[in-house]
Amino acid sequence: MDSLKIAVLPGDGVGEDIVPDVLPVLDRLAEIHGSVKFDWRRYDWNCRYYLEHGEMMPADGLDQLSDHDAIFLGAVGDPARVPDHISLWGLLIKIRREFEQVLNIRPAKSLKGIRSPLQDGNSFDFVVVRENSEGEYSQIGGRLGTGADEIAVQNAVFTRKAIERAVRYAYQLAASRAKKVTAATKSNGIIHTMPFWDEISQQVAQEDESITFDLQHIDALAANFITKPHTYDVVVASNLFGDILTDMGAAMMGSIGVAPAANLNVNGKWPSMFEPVHGSAPDIVGKGIANPMGQLWTAKMMLEHLGYEDMGEHLLGAIEAVLADGVKTPDIGGTATTGEVIAAVNAEIGS
């Protein structure tokens, strides 16, 4: 039987309320499927660690993480005691950069039992693939001049390699889904980088004609997300456009508490990291009402990434069944506690 060595970083806030209780659910799934065993290694690197040691993780922290099959993270941040730039750059961003987690993947799906802000009946099931290493979020630029003549310049940097990598991944994903890729562009207004993006994505598209390919301007795409979200399967986007679209996806689902995410290393050199979209939610920490669905769904993404699609599907099925049964935390209109939701998912998984 395979053994998977997973680094578990509950992190801060509700991460610590949720993550430890999700692990037994995964152990149970593994037991039922009988194909794998989890070797959980817990690392308590968080803001408390920072307050004790002056850094978010030990100096050899990345080394320690590097020989795991994946990193399963809760949330990072304790803004009342540690400034966000320290907690984010000292842990999250460090891991993403050093482990070349160049793609951010966020699925969004309409779920029975959660009120979406969209019109009833506007069902959807798509995944946004966000290029997460370059693009509009470059460090290049600056300010010139003073007073009324002052100007600011910000350069976007796009490389053929990174665009190809993102679009290829979107294609790979679409092949196992509804076989449709939409690339977000704005080549009618951004006349250097976006035509480059279009050109490369069209080249990749020509390699596999079994997938329907479409380029859409980001403004129209954002509007279509609201009016016809069912027309999307896999959407691939630059860093900035992907940032916006992924937040829209989470909002469309009705609560940030259910939204999952993955930071993928695609060259196979380093582990990928799986963390829900929500943050540490200091306003509800310790109250037992944090929604564990986002963390559970994130676990589903991890299982799939590691090649255990059947376990992932089983887990998502249980999540959807529990939501449809109305076992829900307050953020999605229920009265259940974190523990009650996890227990219901456990029961739904069966034995």
Which of 118, 290, 315, 344 forms a contact with ligand ATP (CB under 6 A)? 290
Residue whose CB is nearest to ligand ATP in the complex, by number: 279
How many beta carbons lie within 10 A of that of residue 54, not counting itself? 9
Kindly determine how many residues on this chain lie close enough to bind ligand ATP according to the rule CB under 6 A.
16
- Closer by beta carbon to ligand ATP, 132 or else 291: 291
Candidates 23-31, 99-107, 244-252, 286-294; binding stretch for ligand ATP (CB under 6 A): 286-294
Which of 62, 248, 256, 321 forms a contact with ligand ATP (CB under 6 A)? 256
Which of 104, 133, 280, 298 forms a contact with ligand ATP (CB under 6 A)? 280
* By the rule CB under 6 A, 77 interacts with ligand ATP: yes
Residues in contact with ligand ATP, shown as a per-residue x/- string from 1 to 20 under the rule CB under 6 A: -------------x------
Subset of residues 304 to 343 that bind ligand ATP, contact rule: CB under 6 A: 329, 331
* By the rule CB under 6 A, 181 interacts with ligand ATP: no
- Closer by beta carbon to ligand ATP, 174 or else 341: 341
- Closer by beta carbon to ligand ATP, 36 or else 336: 336
* By the rule CB under 6 A, 281 interacts with ligand ATP: yes
In the bound complex, what is the minimum distance in angstroms from residue 332's beta carbon to ligand ATP?
8
Contact 180, 234 (CB under 8 A): yes
* By the rule CB under 6 A, 106 interacts with ligand ATP: no
In the bound complex, what is the minimum distance in angstroms from residue 9's beta carbon to ligand ATP?
14
- Name the site residues for ligand ATP (rule: CB under 6 A): 14, 75, 77, 256-257, 278-281, 283-284, 290-291, 294, 329, 331
